[in-house]
Amino acid sequence: MSDCIFCKIVKKEIPANIIYEDENFLAFLDINPVSYGHTLIVPKKHIIWMHEANDSLISEIFKLAKRIMLAIKNGMKSDYVQLSVVGKDVPHFHIHLKPRKLSDDIHDSSTKKYEKGKSEEVALKITQAL
């Protein structure tokens, strides 16, 4: 889809801090993270809603989510990683992975910006833990 921001990131038309890439999926840091290390996983094929994806893709994306969750947990020294599938903000099926501490208010979804150079540092921590 030509105007989908995630499709543009997949095609490398828009820069992103990529955590993981294979032939079917791309994982990258959210530019407006709820917590540092907040990562999005998208299928490279444009699929708007999760229920439109075939069972195989759903199975593979959740296996990948588990692998990346562990890398985020270890790399960011978080207590756990919150997973959500929302899909309304960008019309492209995606999974949010948010590193959390047990003391976090999980209902607080306020976002922050990365300071210059911080996103690259965070991406490196996670990719090294993969």
Residues 42-90 pLDDT 10s: 999 999 999 999 999 999 999 999 999 999 999 999 999 999 998 778 9
Residues 81-113 pLDDT 10s: 999 998 778 999 999 999 999 999 888 889 999
Q: How far apart are CA 34 and CA 4, in angstroms?
A: 22
Helix, strand, or coil here: 80?
strand
Domains, the chain, in order of start with CATH, read 5-129 (3.30.428.10)
Q: How far apart are CA 68 and CA 66, in angstroms?
A: 6
- Which residues, 6 or more positions from 31, have their beta carbon under 8 angstroms from its beta carbon? 16, 113, 114, 119
Q: How far apart are CA 115 and CA 62, in angstroms?
A: 30
Residue 92 is a catalytic residue? no
Exactly one of 38, 94, 96, 107 is catalytic; name it: 94
